[in-house]
Amino acid sequence: MSSALETLRHDFGGDIIEPGDAAYEAASRTVLVGGTPAQVLRPTNLHDVQAAVRFAAAAGIPLAVRGGGHSFAGLGTNDDGVVIDLSLLADIQIVDKEQHLVRIGGGATWGQVATALAPHGLAISSGDTKSVGVGGLTLSGGIGWKVRKYGLALDQLVAAEVVLADGNVVRASADENPELFWAIRGGGGNVGIVTAFEFAAHQTRDVYFGKIAFPATEASAVLQGWADYVRTAPEELTTIANFANPFAGGPNAPIEIHLTFDGDDAELAAAAIDPIRALGTVIADDVALQPYAVTLVDGMIPPPGIQLVTRSAFVDKESVAEVIRILAEVGTSEGTPIMAVRSVGGAVARVADDATAYAHRQAELMFATTIIGPPPAIEAARPGLDAVWARLAPHVNGAYSNFLATATDEDVAAVYPMPTYERLAAIKRQYDPSNLFVGNHNVRPA
């Protein structure tokens, strides 16, 4: 046994799972991707995380950190390296009732958070799925059901407890290690492991939630009308346009506008939502008042062998019409990817581009295309997908790292505009000069 492993066995109180152990097969894979790590370490407390980080540094093998394990690129596992799986660090405490301050373990999921906060009438705008991790989603953005009113998940973060590459623990906030705080709000897991997040939650009432569907034949008019309307719609309204779902007819699938209106006032909700209903021939409408926690869905877990290839980009105001035209045309043609177009803006755009390491604040839309299937089907669909992206390229910019199935240098350049990348690289040099935290959209130390 190597001396690093010997030290780990002495210092570490959590699970050490290795090939041959009964738990290994499940522990080695993430929700979407398989892996063959040499060890999966499940810390039970802060001290364990420090010991695990020191082990990975001493052993000199690749490190992956796993929060909720939902990365499309499979960043929460690796081959022959060590995985630090934070899932046992899932404590959720309200630390200040008046300020609505909530402390959340680095391995909690958003479903756990929504359930824990609901009895207190509190919520944090996060994402749309229960099993997605607080860690990955927050560190790279967090575009959720209340994004236009409360901003990204990372905009609600007020402080974090971070284990650095040398195993030391620091607190990051606007007043303590502010550069580190800047970097964790958008820089993914590049600069350390967040063992606890402190968020300012907001008071929540029930929300209007559901979908309004239109026939695929009306795609162009409905999508253009939707994009025009959400530009000036009340910020209580957050919407996602989903279409070309292969499980609902592919090119003939209905155009679905999924929405949340943040509030329980029927008149205000109708005033905000009715213009969506007027966009075309409504063929389904299940919008109803529900508790916010209920709006988060169980994530779809594809069976082993089924791959998801997801790619994303942002759209600024002047390009919205052209991008919607292309997406509507592609979405209603054969061999189409799944389309999900999210309206952003609102509170996100009121934060300066350089205030956090998430820089794509002025975009009106963020959209993702996904192809799904066994590897031969993915390969067959890839040329068509590349052709779509070649058409879109002149009209879109950047990429949302939380919706990327790859983590190439090209992806990293799309995620981080140059000034953001350079600032992150300087912070990386200070906090992680040997690039221990490499399992992410990786920024190399300057």
Ligand X SMILES: Cc1cc2nc3c(=O)[nH]c(=O)nc-3n(C[C@H](O)[C@H](O)[C@H](O)COP(=O)(O)OP(=O)(O)OC[C@H]3O[C@@H](n4cnc5c(N)ncnc54)[C@H](O)[C@@H]3O)c2cc1C
The answer to whether 211 and 148 have CB atoms below 8 angstroms apart is no
**Facing residues of 365 across strands?**
315, 343
Which x/- pattern, by CB under 6 A, does the window 422-441 give for ligand X? -----------------xx-
Q: Which residues contact 22 (CB under 8 A, 6 or more apart)?
A: none
Q: How far apart are CA 408 and CA 279, in angstroms?
A: 39
Give the residue with the Cβ less far from ligand X, 136 or 280.
Answer: 136
- Give the torsion through C-alpha atoms of 193, 198, 199, 203, to 10 deg: 140
Exactly one of 30, 125, 204, 319 binds ligand X (CB under 6 A); that residue is 30
Q: Is 311 in the site for ligand X (CB under 6 A)?
A: no
Q: Which one of 123-131, 209-217, 226-234, 274-282 is the stretch in contact with ligand X (CB under 6 A)?
A: 123-131
Backbone angles phi, psi at 344, to 5 degrees: -115, -120
Query: What is residue 353's DSSP assignment?
Result: T
User: DSSP 3-state helix, strand, coil percentages of the chain (rounded to 5)?
Assistant: 35, 25, 40
Distance in Å, CB of 107 to ligand X, minimum: 6
Exactly one of 55, 72, 182, 199 binds ligand X (CB under 6 A); that residue is 72
Q: How far apart are CA 137 and CA 125, in angstroms?
A: 11
> In terms of DSSP bridges, do strands 207-214 and 255-261 run parallel, antiparallel, or are they unpaired?
antiparallel
> What letter represents residue 65's amino acid?
V
Exactly one of 14, 111, 135, 250 binds ligand X (CB under 6 A); that residue is 135
Give the residue with the Cβ less far from ligand X, 148 or 280.
Answer: 148
Q: Is 187 in the site for ligand X (CB under 6 A)?
A: no
Structure tokens at 132: 């997605």
Structure tokens at 7: 């030290």
Exactly one of 50, 78, 129, 319 binds ligand X (CB under 6 A); that residue is 129
Distance in Å, CB of 110 to ligand X, minimum: 9
> What letter represents residue 280's amino acid?
G
Distance in Å, CB of 429 to ligand X, minimum: 18
Q: Which one of 187-195, 227-235, 274-282, 421-429 is the stretch in contact with ligand X (CB under 6 A)?
A: 187-195
Distance in Å, CB of 203 to ligand X, minimum: 21
Exactly one of 14, 111, 141, 225 binds ligand X (CB under 6 A); that residue is 141
The answer to whether 134 and 67 have CB atoms below 8 angstroms apart is yes
Which x/- pattern, by CB under 6 A, does the window 144-163 give for ligand X? x-------------------
DSSP, collapsed to helix, strand or coil, labels residue 69 as coil
Q: Is 35 in the site for ligand X (CB under 6 A)?
A: no
Q: What part of residues 190-249 is at the interface with ligand X (CB under 6 A)? A: 193-194
Q: Is 339 in the site for ligand X (CB under 6 A)?
A: no
The answer to whether 100 and 154 have CB atoms below 8 angstroms apart is no
Q: How far apart are CA 92 and CA 106, in angstroms?
A: 10
Q: Is 356 in the site for ligand X (CB under 6 A)?
A: no
Q: Is 37 in the site for ligand X (CB under 6 A)?
A: no
Q: Is 313 in the site for ligand X (CB under 6 A)?
A: no
Measured over the CA atoms of residue 20, residue 25, residue 27 and residue 33, the dihedral's sign is: positive
Q: Is 188 in the site for ligand X (CB under 6 A)?
A: yes
Q: Is 371 in the site for ligand X (CB under 6 A)?
A: no
Give the residue with the Cβ less far from ligand X, 223 or 443.
Answer: 443
Q: Is 143 in the site for ligand X (CB under 6 A)?
A: yes
Structure tokens at 407: 């983590």
Q: Which helix (H) or strand (E) holds 193?
A: strand 193-200
Which of 87, 203, 169, 200 lies closest to 134, judged by CA?
87
Total interface residues for ligand X by CB under 6 A? 35
Exactly one of 43, 106, 263, 331 binds ligand X (CB under 6 A); that residue is 106
Interface contacts to ligand X, rule CB under 6 A: 30, 65-72, 75-76, 86, 106, 127-129, 132-133, 135-137, 139, 141-144, 188-189, 193-194, 299, 402-403, 439-440
